[in-house]
């Protein structure tokens, strides 16, 4: 449709041809921006934000020293951002499998299970990871964890950010909750 309106003008005097070309350009641009999403300035900044450092830190991070094949990471997740963030997964080179767990007490026995939906840290708030409660479970340990060891743990959040934290090995006699109803440890 733009061809039929532009070409008669273009055939007129040379002085008009320039403004006709300018008109055609304007029409072309107008059509292009109509077919693509106009609010293109918002999306790149959101992407840049996602690639920023995690708004969440894990303070006072420690991992229970053990010779066994399971341990857990504790500490305080602090969200300094303005949006709620969920810890979705974690990993460490020393464990074959890492899960986010919560502890529930049934018939006086503490049992751990996977925390569905991850661990939410509300904007400006903290979420505690502590023995007998929410924790990051390390399974299939590839080597013993000794007090004073520094274990690298990588946390992945719902906003796409990741955080690598050095976690300190610490001797602790608690945190022996059963897993999946296993009867080996008596809990607290």
Binding site for Cu ion (CB under 5 A): 101, 112, 137
- Shortest separation between residue 128's beta carbon and Cu ion, angstroms: 15
Whichever of 77 and 112 has its CB closer to Cu ion, that residue is: 112
- Shortest separation between residue 186's beta carbon and Cu ion, angstroms: 15
Whichever of 112 and 165 has its CB closer to Cu ion, that residue is: 112
Whichever of 55 and 137 has its CB closer to Cu ion, that residue is: 137
3-state secondary structure at position 138 = strand
- Shortest separation between residue 181's beta carbon and Cu ion, angstroms: 13
Whichever of 58 and 137 has its CB closer to Cu ion, that residue is: 137
- Shortest separation between residue 51's beta carbon and Cu ion, angstroms: 31
Phi-psi region of 186 (alpha: psi -120 to 50; beta: other; left: phi over 0): alpha
Which of 7, 31, 33, 29 shows the shortest CA–CA distance to 20? 7
- Shortest separation between residue 163's beta carbon and Cu ion, angstroms: 20
Contacts 24+ apart (CB under 8 A), 86-89: 86/117, 86/118, 86/119, 86/120, 86/121, 86/157, 86/158, 87/56, 87/118, 87/119, 87/120, 87/121, 87/127, 87/155, 87/156, 87/157, 87/158, 88/118, 88/156, 88/157, 88/158, 89/118, 89/155, 89/156
Alpha-carbon dihedral sign for residues 148, 154, 158, 160: positive
Whichever of 104 and 123 has its CB closer to Cu ion, that residue is: 104
- Shortest separation between residue 137's beta carbon and Cu ion, angstroms: 3
Whichever of 137 and 141 has its CB closer to Cu ion, that residue is: 137
């Amino acid at each position: 449709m733009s061809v039929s309106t532009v070409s008669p003008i273009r055939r007129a005097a040379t002085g008009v041809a320039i403004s006709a070309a300018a008109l055609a350009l304007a029409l072309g641009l107008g059509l292009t921006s109509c077919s693509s999403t106009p609010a293109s300035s918002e999306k790149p900044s959101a992407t840049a934000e996602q690639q920023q450092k995690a708004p969440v830190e894990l303070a006072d991070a420690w991992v229970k020293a053990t010779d066994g094949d399971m341990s857990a990471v504790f500490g305080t997740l602090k969200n300094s951002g303005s949006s709620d963030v969920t810890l979705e997964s974690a990993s460490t080179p020393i464990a074959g499998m890492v899960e986010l767990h919560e502890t529930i007490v049934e018939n006086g026995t503490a049992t751990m299970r996977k925390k569905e939906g991850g661990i939410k840290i509300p904007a400006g708030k903290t979420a505690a990871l502590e023995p007998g409660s929410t924790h990051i479970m390390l399974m299939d340990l590839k080597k013993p964890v000794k007090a004073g060891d520094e274990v690298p743990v990588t946390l992945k959040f719902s906003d796409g950010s990741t955080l690598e934290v050095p976690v300190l090995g610490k001797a602790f006699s608690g945190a022996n909750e059963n897993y999946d109803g296993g009867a080996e440890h008596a809990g607290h």
